[in-house]
């Protein structure tokens, strides 16, 4: 919608070269096999194929197809099974579509996927249940707005990757609104970007500490 995969890959590659910590460029919620392959060719180092809108068998089919190509590129694939139990991209998931542990086990075994999203946000016992039968990292989507206690417990129960989006957008926009209120004469988008990115940075740092992933880069 807002640019090309090649442009994003070029920007991230240039910035990643300036730091010693590992940097990943991830395609989030790739909605087709073609898009996932395009991202790999553009230089993305991780892709997600979201076939959760498909039925179980078709989700397995498209995910396995992406995994087969990704294996040739040597990059991991994240997939989604069931619906997330939180607000994500303005879509609310129904509680009765939460991921079933045995389906998750079968899905991982048949696709060879590297990580799995779709475990319900607030059904924490089910996080543990899925972790017991699935041997790949679990991904928590729609974490914005959850309490620190809830996120920490989900991590303790087996979530290895936690996605925050909405609250980062809010931090960005609120910073812009504040600057325009204080200095309504501001017209340079670069100045808006400076305060907005700093606000997002602070929020990311706070969330990294909350999830316990700070200071672990190797």
Hey, which residues are catalytic here?
28
Long-range contacts, 191-196 (Cβ 8 Å, 24+): 196/171, 196/172
CB atoms within 10 A of CB 178: 13
On whether the CB atoms of residues 60 and 83 are closer than 8 A, the answer is: no
65: number of Cβ within 10 Å? 16
Distance CA 157, CA 138 (A): 10
- How far is it, in rounded angstroms, from Cα 88 to Cα 80? 13
């Amino acid at each position: 919608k807002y640019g090309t995969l090649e442009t994003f890959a070029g920007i991230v590659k240039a910035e990643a070269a300036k730091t010693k910590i590992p940097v990943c460029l991830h395609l989030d919620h790739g909605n087709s096999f073609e898009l996932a392959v395009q991202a790999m060719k553009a230089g993305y180092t991780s892709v997600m194929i979201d076939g959760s809108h498909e039925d179980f068998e078709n989700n397995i089919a498209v995910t396995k197809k992406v995994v087969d190509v990704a294996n040739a590129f040597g990059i991991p694939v994240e997939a989604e099974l069931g619906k997330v139990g939180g607000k994500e991209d303005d879509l609310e998931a129904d509680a009765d579509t939460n991921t079933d542990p045995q389906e998750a086990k079968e899905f991982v075994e048949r696709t060879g996927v590297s990580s799995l999203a779709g475990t319900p946000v607030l059904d924490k016992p089910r996080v543990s249940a899925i972790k017991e039968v699935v041997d790949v990292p679990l991904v928590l989507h729609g974490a914005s707005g959850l309490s620190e206690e809830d996120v920490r417990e989900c991590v303790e129960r087996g979530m290895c990757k936690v996605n925050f989006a909405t609250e980062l957008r809010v931090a960005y926009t609120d910073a812009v609104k504040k600057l325009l209120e204080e200095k309504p004469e501001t017209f340079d988008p670069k100045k808006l970007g400076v305060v907005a990115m700093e606000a997002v940075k602070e929020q990311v740092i706070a969330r990294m500490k909350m999830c316990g992933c700070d200071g672990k880069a190797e």
